[in-house]
Amino acid sequence: MVLSEHARARMQQRGIPARVVDWLAAYGAVEHQPGAEIFYFDRTSRLALERDIGRRQVRRFAKALSAYMVYEKGRITTVGHRFRRIKRH
């Protein structure tokens, strides 16, 4: 997935490693919004990640697993930490 400059800057500002963004793309739950998709970790995706990557690695990045990313128009437009629930339509 292609990162926008805005997403790159937000990853650095918010301390979200590129590895976590890759995991979001591969394992994250997806919520479809008008014109975009939001990727985030829910219980099922965390368990799948832990099963494939290993518990030790997942615990090492535990703080960053509250991350989400917005995928829009063929690229990742922003990345951040979730403080609220994801709205589902």
pLDDT score recorded for residue 83:
76
CB within 8 Å of 19: residues ≥ 6 apart:
61
Confidence of residue 9 (pLDDT cuts 50, 70, 90): very high
* Per-residue pLDDT reduced to its tens digit, 32-63: 988 999 999 999 999 999 999 999 989 998 88
Whether residue 87 is contained in a domain is answered as: no
Whether residue 9 is contained in a domain is answered as: yes
Whether residue 53 is contained in a domain is answered as: yes
Confidence of residue 84 (pLDDT cuts 50, 70, 90): confident
Whether residue 89 is contained in a domain is answered as: no
In the chain the first and final C-alpha atoms are separated, in Å, by 25
pLDDT score recorded for residue 69:
95
pLDDT score recorded for residue 89:
60
Domain limits for position 27: 2-81
Whether residue 88 is contained in a domain is answered as: no
Whether residue 6 is contained in a domain is answered as: yes
Whether residue 48 is contained in a domain is answered as: yes
* CA dist list (Å): 39 to 8, 27, 88: 16, 9, 12
Number of domains in the chain: 1
